[in-house]
Amino acid sequence: MTRRLEEIDALRGFMLVWMTLTHLPTVLSQFANQPFGFISSAEGFIFLSAVFTGRIYFRLADRDGYSAMYRRLGLRTFRLYLYHICLLLFAFAVGSLTARGDHPGVHNLLDYYFVVGPKHAILLGAALVYRPPLLDILPMYIILLILTPLALTLGAKVGWKFVMAGSFTLWVFAELGLRQASHDFLARAFGFTIPVNEMGSFDLWAWQFLWILGLWFGVKWAKDQLELDVWAKRLFVPALFIVPILLALRIAVGRTIELGSLEVAFDKWHLGAFRLLDAACISALLWRFKQIPRALSVRPLVLLGQASLQVFCAHLLFCFIGLTIMGNYAIVMGWRQLVLLVGTFGGLLLTAKFFSRSENKVSPGSPEPSSQFAPHHAES
């Protein structure tokens, strides 16, 4: 019998709080930036979203057919695309309003918008090609959602080992510079003019692997084949050594240690190998010490996690507000920091309350969006 496990929702809510504190221009940002080692909230947000997507839509396809799955995923992707367009227009409106003022924070994020003009920027943004900082996670998420029906279909038809092998191969090529090479090819062959750094900080060729991995976990979860106890037990002892070592290295980087040629293996934007290792080890420890995520299962975090995508979009609005009011300072100064933090998290909770109610209204015959969790516990 399955049961509601609110720890998963709370963990997603924690990721959103962590991400918000990192992005808001306050004094807390420097402390929230990768405090647990070479891992950020983005990895958790993308992976957990993929897990839920894989589980829910695999079950839908298994019960109602792949046409129903394609239709539902298409509607979900279109809705998120509309969110993206609204955020993009809001950001460009903020940019236009602050163009004549002293707002370097906004200008730095939207420098390409100011170079090419609103019309060109809007067209490229709507095509998911121009992805300014802060506004680059959602377009990547949308592209990954567009590819999800293909991944789920191939996983069912040819087997997940082939899908995972292909995804891993792309990740390897990404670490070797596939993104820059593909951009250079498009520039030579088709006159592609947008700089690669304006196409988002995240290397899609690399981050697709984390998404596909999450989909695979979600499908195994739906099949009741997710042997997390066995996996966590095998990784537990190595994780006890790897996690503190990488945490110490993360603290030392920039102070006493330079990574040099090894930097790509720790790079966030290219999802370096050591980031994947760190994420796996931390996840194993969290699973073994279940009381830690259980302690996070407070109602506000659960609510945030239940409406994670809407809350994510809302946090971007507050980030742009913060960048606007900070003026030419490095962060928002004085009492405005407290007002920004209280207003932001109050707004996120209101957003979560509104959307969690609507998301939890499941129509007859549709897959439940809630966190039903019953992994297969193999004998250890």
Each of the 380 residues of the chain gets a pLDDT tens digit; together they read: 344 468 888 999 999 999 999 999 999 998 999 999 999 999 999 999 999 999 999 999 999 999 999 999 999 999 999 999 999 999 998 888 886 677 788 888 888 998 899 999 999 999 999 999 999 999 999 999 999 999 999 999 999 999 999 999 999 999 999 999 999 999 998 888 899 999 999 999 999 999 999 999 999 999 999 888 899 999 999 999 999 999 999 999 867 788 888 899 999 999 999 999 999 999 999 988 887 778 888 999 999 999 999 999 999 999 999 998 887 888 898 899 999 999 999 999 999 999 876 555 444 344 444 443 433 333 32
Instruction: State residue 3's pLDDT score.
Output: 44
Q: Does residue 101 sit in helix, strand or coil?
A: coil
Tell me the DSSP string of 244-268.
Answer: HHHHHHHHHBTTTB--GGGGGGG-T
Number of neighbours of residue 101 by Cβ within 10 angstroms: 12
Asked if residue 271 lies in contact with residue 171, where contact means CB atoms within 8 angstroms, the answer is yes
DSSP character at residue 370: S
The domains of the chain are located at 3-373
Instruction: State residue 370's pLDDT score.
Output: 41
Q: Does residue 329 sit in helix, strand or coil?
A: coil
- Phi and psi torsions of 373, nearest 5°: -135, 120
* CA 93 remoteness from chain centre: 25
Q: Does residue 365 sit in helix, strand or coil?
A: coil
DSSP run (H or E) holding 3? strand 3-4
Instruction: State residue 124's pLDDT score.
Output: 95
10, amino acid identity: A
Instruction: Please count the CA atoms within 13 angstroms of the CA of 156 that sit on its side-chain side.
Output: 16
Asked if residue 82 lies in contact with residue 312, where contact means CB atoms within 8 angstroms, the answer is no
Q: Does residue 351 sit in helix, strand or coil?
A: helix
Asked if residue 83 lies in contact with residue 138, where contact means CB atoms within 8 angstroms, the answer is yes
What's the token pair of residue 148?
């999800």
Helix axes 6-23, 41-64, angle to 10 degrees: 140
The CA R_g of the chain, rounded to the nearest whole Å, is 21
Residues 6+ apart with CB under 8 A from 30: none
78, amino acid identity: F
65-73: long-range pairs with CB below 8 Å, 24+: 66/149, 66/152, 66/153, 69/149, 69/152, 70/149, 72/366, 73/145, 73/148, 73/149
274, amino acid identity: F
Instruction: State residue 358's pLDDT score.
Output: 54
Instruction: Determine the Cα angle at 129 with ends 93 and 187, to 5°.
Output: 130
What's the token pair of residue 249?
């290295």
Q: Does residue 372 sit in helix, strand or coil?
A: strand
* CA 53 remoteness from chain centre: 13
